[in-house]
Amino acid sequence: MNIEKIKNELEKIIGKRVRIKVNVGRNKYEYYEGEILKVYPCLFTFSTVNFVKSFSYSDVLTKDIQISLSNS
């Protein structure tokens, strides 16, 4: 998988509910549920009820964040 492929896959799920698992180091993880807002050339934005975060495609490539579609 490469960055362009990741970007294309994220464009397909803009506006859909997703879960994001973020590796914050030392076997610690943060979990968020929300939706992909927008896809930019170098990063994408993710929105929850309380805030907006941005992540780079390399975070997905290196598996520092994992994205899955939410069941709810």
3-69 in CATH: which number? 2.30.30.100
pLDDT of residue 71: 78
> What pTM, to 2 d.p., does this model score?
0.88
Residue 53, exposed/middle/buried by CB under 10 A (0-12, 13-18, 19+)?
middle
pLDDT at 63: 94
Q: What is the pLDDT at residue 72?
A: 63
